[in-house]
Amino acid sequence: MTSVNKEASMLPSTSKEAAVYYGAYNDLPEEVNKYKEELGIEKPAQNVFVESFLRRTVTSKRRVDQEIRNILSAKAIVMDVVKPKKVPTETSMKQRKSLTAKERRQLKIYDIKPDHQKYTIYEPLHYLWKDYIRDYLQILPEKGFNKQTLEKLLKADYHGCIIKVTKSKCPSYVGTTGIVVQETKNVFKIITKDDILKTIPKVNTVFCVEVQSLLVTLYGNHLRRRASERSVKKFKSKPTIDL
């Protein structure tokens, strides 16, 4: 309202008034000031407009009052920098080519269905593993292990091997035997001979594995890595503290 009136007053007028300069912040000319009340022009309370404008535009809701006080105390603030958060649109989700970890969990793409929890299905996997470990270690069973092969054994893959729990803090785990189907960071998932999928934590358990008619003891506490990370990690020899 006020600004419009000001504009009108600033229009280039007749030759008589041409000499008077009307700036944007000048007081209104007297002719207008006379009919102030009729025209409904009133000097607005200081900063009312600015404040209401700021209330509308300042994005951070938490501290609006403080923000406004800051702005009104004439500190320089760059308004452009405030960027709205990017919300993933449907098209951008479609363009993404790999599943996110969350989606993977929701879809359960790694969980074995109950119909496939059968010992007989995984027997061939065990034979495959036997061949693999023989090729991998390349040892003669009569001679036993040396230090290098033991190190190698730590980096080997255990999917498909028959594993037995020999010691554990939880006594109900002791004695369970089965084929390792999945290995995660903290857990071995094994399938026992009576077709049950059992999840056995690595912490505080000692496993026994048969490698080429030799028995190997694995300390679960030392194997607590993701299966894929184990081949990268360098192992240090640790004194094993028994359970």
Residue 232 interacts with another protein (CB under 8 A): yes or no: yes
Q: What is the DSSP string of the chain?
A: -HHHHHHHHHS---TTTTTS---TTSPPPHHHHHTHHHHT--PPPTTHHHHHHHHHH---STTHHHHHHHHHTT----STT--PPPPPPHHHHHH--S--HHHHHHHTTTPPPGGG--TGGGHHHHHHHHHHHHHHH---TTT---HHHHHHHHHS--TT-EEEEEEESSGGGTT-EEEEEEE-SSEEEEE-TTS-EEEEESTTEEEEEEETTEEEEEEGGGG-S-TTTTTTPPP---PPPP-
- Show the binding pattern over residues 146-185: x = contacts another protein (CB under 8 A), - = does not: ------x--xxx-xx--------------------xx---
Which CB atom, from 79 or from 150, has the smaller least distance to another protein?
150
Which CB atom, from 31 or from 90, has the smaller least distance to another protein?
90
Which CB atom, from 47 or from 231, has the smaller least distance to another protein?
231
- Using CB under 8 A as the binding rule, the residues of this chain from 82 to 141 that contact another protein are 97-99, 107-113, 115-116, 121-122, 124-125, 128-129, 132, 135-136
CB of 107: closest distance to another protein in angstroms? 8
Which CB atom, from 128 or from 170, has the smaller least distance to another protein?
128
Q: Can you give the length of the chain in residues?
A: 243
Residue 145 interacts with another protein (CB under 8 A): yes or no: no
Residue 227 interacts with another protein (CB under 8 A): yes or no: yes
Which CB atom, from 1 or from 107, has the smaller least distance to another protein?
107
CB of 70: closest distance to another protein in angstroms? 47
d(CA 187, CA 183): 6
d(CA 160, CA 211): 12
CB of 184: closest distance to another protein in angstroms? 9
CB of 116: closest distance to another protein in angstroms? 4
Number of residues that bind another protein (CB under 8 A): 35
Instruction: By CB under 8 A, name the binding residues for another protein.
Output: 97-99, 107-113, 115-116, 121-122, 124-125, 128-129, 132, 135-136, 152, 155-157, 159-160, 181-182, 226-229, 231-232
